[in-house]
Each structure stands twice: as structure tokens, then as C-alpha cells.
Structure 1
């Protein structure tokens, strides 16, 4: 990720919805898979999923088709990798080696999930799940358990976890979390020249708790989904969408953050500043390790060296 001071104050990871990811195929159910799922869900004879025409899908089951197409839009993805040394990923995702890699311990406690949240959504996984790479999109060959199940979670999870083998070098694992389970929602104005005082007064008058960060409004609440819904109702969802957009974040538990790796182009000054912020911050573990990437002298690769508070 890019090196951002905000992260060292509060270790937030964005829940990125599929339509904001850099792969146009990501988490997008195919037409044939949707047809098979609808055939099974609407089967009244009990003989399994038969054939259903495009015309019948559109005329009789349009709402169900749209649900299967867009349900994953309610979720956010946190992407991890097995390989912190991948040069392409450092260039693409870590500001051309000027950013950082964060090492997380992958467990049920990486992020906090309330019992009610977890049981309310069968698709949510507390641990990151390995992505499957394939030449073909899930279509006629989609596994039977994704179709012949009264639940839809296997169907959606399959599309969220299968990517083209062009991405195989990323060795990705994913947390899949509903944006309604976010710890923080950040509302950013589309036009930075718009006066924010009116919106600030509007929220205050309606007792909607928020904080300000430049042109952003931050919402943090134990019932965040209800708060955001109230925000949309008071201002009008259509007006809200034209005014700005939301981003959703999960906060990592302190003990789950095991290491921070600074890119080979990060200056010593930036490293000192970041380490100072982290070491004074209870949102990070006292056992956290720091590393700096260095260019190998004889291979096209980077090596990591431990750094300590007094070593830079």
C-alpha cells in the first residue's frame, strides 16, 4: 500500500467493492451461471436445474437475475498476498517501492467481527481465503455445490474467489466482508469546492455522530449500517450519491499486525517518523517488527533487513 501517515495513526484496511477493483471480471457472475442458478431456484418439479431461456429470465425473473448480478456489490474485499517480495506488486500497489507492505497474521481474530454480524451473513469468512486462478470464467463448468444449494453463499463466494490466471503472480488471499460490517465509513465530497459547513450543520441538527477530516466526513458507530441508512434517508439517497461517495474500512486488531516492511525508496526520515508514530500507538502491538527492503547486489530481487528504533 502507499505510505500514508493516517495508517500509522489508525491501521484501517479498505473494504473495496468489486466495481472499484482493477479487474473488470472481478466478482462478476456470468450469464450462464446466473441462468443455471435461477433454473434451480425456480424449479417446482424437484428434478434439479433444467434449461431456462434468456427471455424467461428477463420477463419472469428479472429481479432475481439482478440480485445475482449485483449482490456482491454489498461486499468489500481486503486483498493479501503470500509473497511480499513480488517486484511487480511493489510497483503497482506500493507507490513504486515508496510504500509499505503490512504483514498480517491470518486468523479469526485478524479483524473484529461481532457474533450477530458473522451469523447474519453466511458469505463472510473470518480468515482470508486463497484465490483460485483459471483460464475460464465460471460458467457451464461452475461446481454443482454453487448451483444446487438452497443458499446462495457458495455461488457468490465462488465468483469472488476465481480470477484469471493472468493474476496468478499475485498469490492472493481475500477477506470478504459486507460493507455494512465496516468499522469506519468515510464520506468524501465529489466536488472539493462545495461548502461543507451546510452538510456539517445538517448532520449535527439530526444528531448523526461524525468527525471531520478536511473534505471528508468520518462515521464510526457500533451500528454503522443504521447510521449510514439514516444519513441517506435524511438527505435523500439520490442527492447523497451526487454529493459524494462512501469508502468503508475495517480496523485490524493490534496483535494481528506482525510486521511493517518499508520499500527500498522510502527515506530514513519517513521510516523514523512512521516508527515513532507506531511505537507510541496502542493500536499496534509492542511486538511489531520493522523491516526495510534493499536491492539485491546480484539478483533482480529485494531483500528485507530488520530495523530497530536506534538503527536509523
Structure 2
């Protein structure tokens, strides 16, 4: 586990008020290979799992093609309902500054892995505070994990690759994990770590406004709404909302998510970040660092960053960026 990880982003004033980051659906990521798997991968994985359970003395039924198609559809839906928060191990990469931090006009946020990443982290996983708890179905990886880079797509033709860690473990976990955290070698410069979350758990959704959505929202006045431009609406849940409502499939939050995901394909899902987890801010060499200073100074939750703001400067002898401390 790395001690610090980083997020390249534009300089957004609203972040310094609400501390929210977007979880991007797999189908909206900039790599077209994300969130997909082919029939051979699935059938190899299914055969490997059958071989493993048979070896354990279990009776494994041979499934019909339509049953296998159903399992494939279920696994694919797992990708449709989760989002990725992307981080990196490196705050000095010139390509990352150009691609993801508004061409050096943005910032990099540094996070301390020993602090809870998300607000409302009132559960525990081992000795670590957690927002979402144990991911029984392998859909959630709250604490960022490293992406693996390779030329070949993941293969699943050997039973030991998918062997469950325990009898009670969901047997498709390692299949999903490999697909969640494997990318082409072409992306290796990103040194990515990613957190995987369920989009239905979002603290804020920005989507198209419609009458049905308004009717659902009227059932819970605690949920704040704000009309935006171009017919959009912003939906914000109270802190620890899950503690106040039954969060089953019939919950208001589940109904809102189903509607905004099914009928609002461009919906944006935002999650509250714990400001205490932010351990530093790096301003790009073209960034208005005085504005960053002002935004930090305005928010008492960021008082611990007084001596942890830096400006990136171009080295005079090598193609590299160096950090220089900025005093508030």
C-alpha cells in the first residue's frame, strides 16, 4: 500500500467548498477496452471455476447456453453500475499535467492513505475506517488499488487463477477484479490507482430534470435539489443518508439511481471526499496559485494544509518538474 496517492484535476472552486470527486462509469472512460470482456474469457473462467469446484468434491451442473448468456449479462451489468475514481502514484508526470490538469493550469491533490478517503466513513474493514464496508460481491474497492499493465488481455484458462480465498467468497470476484484493474501497457505512464464504487451510493447526481424524477424527490424533503442550466438538476443527499433510510432495492435512493442511470445516460455521480485525507496540494506551473491559497484559507477544514501547498516549476537543466513550497 502506498503512503500517498494523487489526483490530477482542473482548478475548481466548488471542490474547495464541497470536496466532491466524480466516479466515472466504465463505459464513459477514455479507454475503449474498459468494462468489457469477450465470450472466450467468460467461458474459460466458467470452465476453470467448474474444474475447481469439481476438484473440491462439489457436483457442478452443466448449464445450457441461455443460462450462460444470463450469467454473462449479469456480470456485464456489474460494470454498468460501478464507477471509477482514478488516482496516481506520481505528481510530477508532464503528460498527466497536460492531459488531466488543464494543461498545467490545474492542480494535483495529495491524499494520505492512512486517512479515510470518503466522508461518512463510520464502518470498519479490519482496523481501517470505511464508508461502504466489506465488498461481498467484489463490486467495491474503496481503498485505491494499483492497476496492472500488460499487452495481453486477462486470460482465465487455469483454475488456480480464479480459486476463491474462502468457501463463502463470491466465485466471480477474481474475474471481476482482473477486469477492473488491468489495462494496456500503453497507459503505463499513468501509474494509476483506482477506487471502485457503486454509482447508486453517490452523494450527488447531476442529470436531466423530468417530471417523474421530481415526483420521486418529493417523497423525501431532506434531499436537496438545485435547478441548473440546460434543463439539468442537481440532487444532493444529506450526510450519512444511508443511516436514515432503508437502503434496499425499494429505497428512494435506489429509485432515483435507477431512473437517472436508465433515462439519463449523461448523469454525473459525485462522492464526498474526507478533507482530512487531503495532505497536500500541488499547483501547476501555469496555475493561479494565489487563488488556491485563497480557497484553502477560506475553508477551516483545510487549515492543516497551511504548509503543504506547492507550486510546480520547470527545471532549468532537465525535462522535469520540481516542487516549491508556498506559504499562506
Q: TM-score, normalised by structure 2?
A: 0.76
Give the conservation status (yes or no) of the 8 Å contact 1:132–1:162.
yes
Deviation at 1:76, TM superposition (A): 1.6
Deviation at 1:199, TM superposition (A): 7.1
What SS class does the counterpart of residue 29 from structure 1 fall into?
A: coil
Give the conservation status (yes or no) of the 8 Å contact 2:116–2:277.
yes
Q: Compare the two structures and name the one with the higher helix fraction.
A: 1
Matches within 5 A, 1:107-122: 107=114, 109-112=116-119, 113-115=121-123, 117-119=132-134, 121-122=136-137
Which of 271, 275, 278 is the matching residue for 1:257? 278
Which of 131, 139, 146 is the matching residue for 1:130? 146
Please tell me whether residue 207 in structure 1 is matched to residue 223 in structure 2.
no
Q: Structure 1 residues 213 and 259, CA, compared in 2 at 3 Å: closer, same or farther?
A: farther
Please tell me whether residue 217 in structure 1 is matched to residue 243 in structure 2.
no
Q: Structure 1 residues 27 and 205, CA, compared in 2 at 3 Å: closer, same or farther?
A: closer
Give the conservation status (yes or no) of the 8 Å contact 1:15–1:76.
yes
Give the conservation status (yes or no) of the 8 Å contact 1:9–1:278.
no
Deviation at 1:227, TM superposition (A): 3.1
Structure-2 residue corresponding to 1:30: 38
Structure-1 residue corresponding to 2:206: 187
Give the conservation status (yes or no) of the 8 Å contact 2:21–2:85.
yes
Deviation at 1:158, TM superposition (A): 1.4
User: 1:139-170 CA deviation, whole Å, 9 max, x = no partner?
Assistant: 24677342567522222111111111111111
Please tell me whether residue 246 in structure 1 is matched to residue 267 in structure 2.
yes
Structure-1 residue corresponding to 2:70: 63
Deviation at 1:136, TM superposition (A): 0.5
Give the conservation status (yes or no) of the 8 Å contact 1:187–1:244.
no
Cα distance in 2, alignment partners of residues 135 and 240 from structure 1: 32
Cα distance in 1, alignment partners of residues 252 and 300 from structure 2: 27
Please tell me whether residue 227 in structure 1 is matched to residue 259 in structure 2.
no
Where does the alignment leave 5 or more consecutive residues of structure 1 unmatched? 190-195
Cα RMSD over matched residues?
Answer: 3.2
Q: TM-score, normalised by structure 1?
A: 0.80
Structure-1 residue corresponding to 2:312: 293
Give the conservation status (yes or no) of the 8 Å contact 2:115–2:276.
no
Cα distance in 2, alignment partners of residues 197 and 65 from structure 1: 32
Structure 1 stretch 93-102 or stretch 148-157: which is displaced more? Answer: 148-157
Q: Structure 1 residues 45 and 229, CA, compared in 2 at 3 Å: closer, same or farther?
A: closer
Where does the alignment leave 5 or more consecutive residues of structure 2 unmatched? 1-8, 124-130
Cα distance in 1, alignment partners of residues 204 and 154 from structure 2: 32
Give the conservation status (yes or no) of the 8 Å contact 1:260–1:290.
yes
Which of 66, 73, 80 is the matching residue for 1:73? 80
Deviation at 1:201, TM superposition (A): 5.7
What SS class does the counterpart of residue 290 from structure 2 fall into?
A: helix
Deviation at 1:108, TM superposition (A): 5.8
Structure 1 stretch 251-260 or stretch 135-144: which is displaced more? Answer: 135-144
Deviation at 1:285, TM superposition (A): 4.5
